[in-house]
Structure 1
Amino acid sequence: MRRVRSAAGRVQLGKPSSNLFRFGDRDTGRGARRLDTSALDGVLAVDPDARTAEVQGMATYETIVDATLAHGLMPLVVPQLKTITLGGAVTGLGVESTSFRHGLPHESVREMDVLTPAGELLHVTPDGEHADLFAAFPNSYGTLGYAVRLVVELQPVRPFVKLTHHRYPTAGQTTAAIGELTASGVDFLDGVVFGAGEQYLTTGEFVDAPMPGARISDYTGQEVFYRSLQRRPVDHLTAHDYIWRWDPDWFWCSRAFGVQQPLVRRFWPRRYRRSDVYRRLVALDQRHGASNRVREALGGTAEEMVVQDVEIPVERLPEFLEFFHREIGISPVWLCPLKLRGDRSWPLYPMEPGRLYVNVGFWSSVPEKPGDPWAHNRLLEAAVADLGGHKSLYSTVHYGEDEFWAHYNGDAYRAVKRRYDPEGRAPDLYRKVTGR
């Protein structure tokens, strides 16, 4: 341990980019000293024999994947968007199509160096002096400290991924298939719900070469990946393009900017077909309320942003989707099965080891209910809790304080917070994610 800053005054991470959808987050840091992290964005080493990478906390997964693929390796779980950072995925949560096998990104971390709000730089491991911080770090969103260096496990890759898109007419059949496919030995599994009668699960398998006569698809150009599920039962991508298949269109959210229209797409520069570009456009709109003002000026109604990821126990998935189609009505919806990798649980996001969940992701807006601009989000929070699920905290949070701490283990959080931030230099988790 060593002290790198005096323990005086409030602190906040000076991160140049963000994948959060809490646009009021900066308000919680007013008056705080911003820590410059611009130099902490690299891959320090890749060890092909040990299958590990030593990575700085602000390194994006785009940077990490480029470094590890050069050695025929990739992280066990690579979140869907290129500019998500390793530190962000560990202190927040990440999920992708390997999560049914490898869990969440923090489960592949072997050790970390963490800068605490108190100004101490600590070496943190699963069973060392600071094992309590290691356990509580996931889902703490920077309120317990910032990971400046991490060592993570890697897995071998092959040059191509063969995709098979399986269509199911009901949520019940989709749910049964998830159980079967997670036990089938495939390398990747996720899915898309286009509506109550049209659902797909996509399996992916590493291969050395495409099938004879098969084309290698490229979804960084005119074609859009999620539409291929409906048209192409079998597909092939390079391993690199599979990892980033969702990023050029931010899943399907680029349609809000017209980028999926052939004419617009042709003239929209390829270098700007990226999730971080679209996210910046949304952030600008949210801060100024431009789109809602236009809707209201044209005689329409303002819209409520419903951008959330939730984890639902797999057996409750049909109930959740029935509720979702009836009360929310957004489509498409992403499905991503996941199971914790090992036998341990993580106190601030208490999923059950050995239990299969499905991450359901939905990212759009719906007409506001008069007099209640967050009605749909609160309805979702209640439904997720009733079904024994969990809600990620990267987006808006509407729980009252007591309910929030009941869901996210307030007793465990406060014990670690007292030890590593005794002066309260960083906001607590509830204040951080609600802005209250």
Structure 2
Amino acid sequence: MDLKQRIARWMEDHRGLIVVLVVLPLSLIFDALIQLRLWIIRKFISAPEKHDERVRTIQSQVLRWNKHPKAERKLMCTARPNWQSLSTTFFRKDLCHKISIPLYDILELRESHMTIRVEPMVSVGQATAFLVPRGYTLAVCLEVAEATLGGLAMGVGMTTYSHKIGLYQEGIVAYEVVLADGSLVKATKDNEYSDLYYTLPWSHGTLGFLVELELKIIKIKPHLKLEYIPVKGQKQYCDMMRDLSGALDKNRPTPDYLEATVYNREEAVIMVGNFADVPDTEQHKINRVTAWHKPWFYKHAEGFLKTGKDYEYIPLKDYLLRHNKSIFWVIETMIPFGNNPIFRFFLGWLLPPKIAFLKFTTTPGVRAITFTKQVFQDIVLPMTQLEDQIDKNEELFDIYPILIYPCRIYDHGPHRGQLRPPRREQMVPGADYGMFNDLGVYGVPRVVKEKKRFDAVDAMRKMERFTEEVGGYPFLYADTFMTRQEFEKMFDLMAYDQVRRKYNAEGAFPHLHDKIKPEIDVVEVGKQYMDPL
């Protein structure tokens, strides 16, 4: 073992110490600077009343690009740095013509329409802080505060309300987009730009520049009554999730929020949440789960496997951001002792390390090692094959816990976006949707923990083949391993390609597959790092 390998091994063995002593303090400083920058932007530069003026500036940038000779034009992309996105990849923006999109404002709360108008750089945390005190939340609200509403619109999002409404795109009323020719258009499902409306989701900024969104909101109560139901037996918890989500009967009353965390093949905790007022006699059952000293949420839920079925009242903002502190369970791989009560009490306020900082400090070497040692995947799969999903995860990765969020996938008709209609056997009887779910797989495979040989490329390609065979889709923020041909077999790109031609996106923006594919040679890197250190 050479010096480089010994250093790498030492850093891997002492990862928690390095994170606590170096990463967390630097992340805190980094985030403070970012927040100061955002405050300056919102205080002195941005303002809702200046939205139209800022959009015209974006249009003028695109018009200037159009004046360049065609042979000299680089493909366009946003000027937002890679480290500010939640994607695991690092798209080569240095090879593109970058357009500045300084749009950070909440524009209008339209209570009569039950919608909110926002600029694309508004974050989930910002929207939650604005809406919850007013008695609302986004219909589809991601758990990660750093995620931007525009990023989710151009990509995809899903949450524990999705069994009622569907993917993030189903909560979008209208998009305003600057096209490749500099024109500004508004796309809704019923207007002349309906083809654009259906293809913008999952397009990852390859059709135009998003400058405004109108999103559905829902009424809330201040607290959520969350019931924890521990279940033993894979068939038992899978059947219960199908039943509770309405996958078997479209007329079945369903809870406001529904999710399951699977801790091993035979044990899961199902969480059923409903908006509630807290009775005076049950004030003691209020639990602010995001407080710095509280157990990480998934660890808290795991405790009900021993103590049995119970419930508590959680302030809605805490519930919506319940996984933010531990980034689901990713932080455990970085700080194995992070859920220790002593650590939580004295240093829990430092969590989580900011995703932007982690990406900002990721070198090509770290990127290569991380890709071969860890798994970060959200995959949309049919609930009819929930057991098969869990078994496939165990076969390929053996990572637990995993999360399950039920979600409607609608049949909008053939070639109406990048997702194909659900197969006939996947449809909820009598409904225009099938019940799918997000399978969230995050962490370090068991064989890597045991310092054994792990072929990351082979494992992920097998998961992608399984996903395509059952009619599912991986979220494209994570590394994909498909060839262009395989990608076009999984996704329906007919309407997408037509829209690219119709609105002159070809030659102006990268193709979707080029935009989301890893910037590294995954096969070569996989071979290099396949053997344990």
After TM superposition, the score normalised by the length of structure 2 is 0.74
Q: Match for residue 466 of structure 2?
A: 383
Give the 3 Å change call, closer, same or farther, for CA 229–44 of structure 1 in structure 2.
same
Give the 3 Å change call, closer, same or farther, for CA 351–97 of structure 1 in structure 2.
farther
1:333 aligns with 2:333: no
1:360-399 equivalences under 5 Å are 360-366=439-445, 367=448, 372-399=455-482
Q: Match for residue 79 of structure 2?
A: 14
Misfit runs of 4+, over 4 Å = 290-293, 341-346, 368-373
1:150 aligns with 2:199: no
Please state how far the C-alpha of 1:30 moved relative to its aligned partner.
2.4
Residue deviations 1:113-132 (CA, integer Å, cap 9, x gap): 11224433212121222111
Which of 245-254 and 169-178 deviates more? 169-178
The one of 105, 113, 136 equivalent to 2:176 is 113
Please state how far the C-alpha of 1:379 moved relative to its aligned partner.
1.6
Which of 260-269 and 196-205 deviates more? 260-269
Give, as a single letter, the amino acid of the residue that structure 1 aligns with 2:329: W
Q: Match for residue 488 of structure 2?
A: 405
In structure 1, C-alpha distance between the alignment counterparts of 2:411 and 2:319, rounded to whole Å: 26
Give the 3 Å change call, closer, same or farther, for CA 403–290 of structure 1 in structure 2.
closer
Q: Match for residue 504 of structure 2?
A: 421
Give, as a single letter, the amino acid of the residue that structure 2 aligns with 1:266: F
Contact preservation (8 Å) 2:195, 2:495: no
1:349 aligns with 2:443: no
Contact preservation (8 Å) 1:219, 1:248: no
Give, as a single letter, the amino acid of the residue that structure 2 aligns with 1:83: E
1:37 aligns with 2:101: yes
In structure 1, C-alpha distance between the alignment counterparts of 2:77 and 2:279, rounded to whole Å: 48
Q: Match for residue 273 of structure 1?
A: 351
Please state how far the C-alpha of 1:79 moved relative to its aligned partner.
1.1
Please state how far the C-alpha of 1:179 moved relative to its aligned partner.
2.2
Give the 3 Å change call, closer, same or farther, for CA 423–186 of structure 1 in structure 2.
closer
Please state how far the C-alpha of 1:163 moved relative to its aligned partner.
0.7
Residue deviations 1:296-333 (CA, integer Å, cap 9, x gap): xxxxxx94331111111111110121121122101110
Q: Match for residue 271 of structure 2?
A: 202
Give, as a single letter, the amino acid of the residue that structure 1 aligns with 2:299: R
- Which structure has the larger Rg over C-alpha atoms? 2
Give, as a single letter, the amino acid of the residue that structure 2 aligns with 1:224: W
In structure 1, C-alpha distance between the alignment counterparts of 2:121 and 2:331, rounded to whole Å: 26
In structure 2, C-alpha distance between the alignment counterparts of 1:226 and 1:305, rounded to whole Å: 19
The one of 272, 285, 291 equivalent to 1:215 is 285
In structure 2, C-alpha distance between the alignment counterparts of 1:82 and 1:166, rounded to whole Å: 27
Unaligned regions of 5+ residues in structure 1, if any?
Answer: 294-301
Contact preservation (8 Å) 2:406, 2:437: yes
Give, as a single letter, the amino acid of the residue that structure 2 aligns with 1:310: I
Q: Match for residue 236 of structure 1?
A: 313
- Number of equivalenced pairs: 422
Give the 3 Å change call, closer, same or farther, for CA 169–371 of structure 1 in structure 2.
closer
1:175 aligns with 2:258: no
1:304 aligns with 2:367: no
Give the 3 Å change call, closer, same or farther, for CA 330–279 of structure 1 in structure 2.
farther
Contact preservation (8 Å) 1:101, 1:339: yes
Contact preservation (8 Å) 2:380, 2:436: yes
Which of 168-177 and 390-399 deviates more? 168-177
Helix, strand or coil: the match of 1:384? helix
Contact preservation (8 Å) 2:260, 2:270: yes
Give the 3 Å change call, closer, same or farther, for CA 187–84 of structure 1 in structure 2.
same
Residue deviations 1:207-248 (CA, integer Å, cap 9, x gap): 011573342212332221111112243122101111111111
Contact preservation (8 Å) 2:206, 2:509: yes
In structure 1, C-alpha distance between the alignment counterparts of 2:411 and 2:285, rounded to whole Å: 38
Which of 387-396 and 330-339 deviates more? 387-396
1:318 aligns with 2:387: yes
Helix, strand or coil: the match of 2:417? coil
Residue deviations 1:152-189 (CA, integer Å, cap 9, x gap): 12110001001111122222212211122123331000
Contact preservation (8 Å) 1:339, 1:354: yes
Give, as a single letter, the amino acid of the residue that structure 1 aligns with 2:94: R
In structure 1, C-alpha distance between the alignment counterparts of 2:169 and 2:364, rounded to whole Å: 31
Give, as a single letter, the amino acid of the residue that structure 2 aligns with 1:227: K
Residue deviations 1:182-211 (CA, integer Å, cap 9, x gap): 233310001101101211211101001157
After TM superposition, the score normalised by the length of structure 1 is 0.89
Which of 422-431 and 148-157 deviates more? 422-431
Give, as a single letter, the amino acid of the residue that structure 2 aligns with 1:384: T
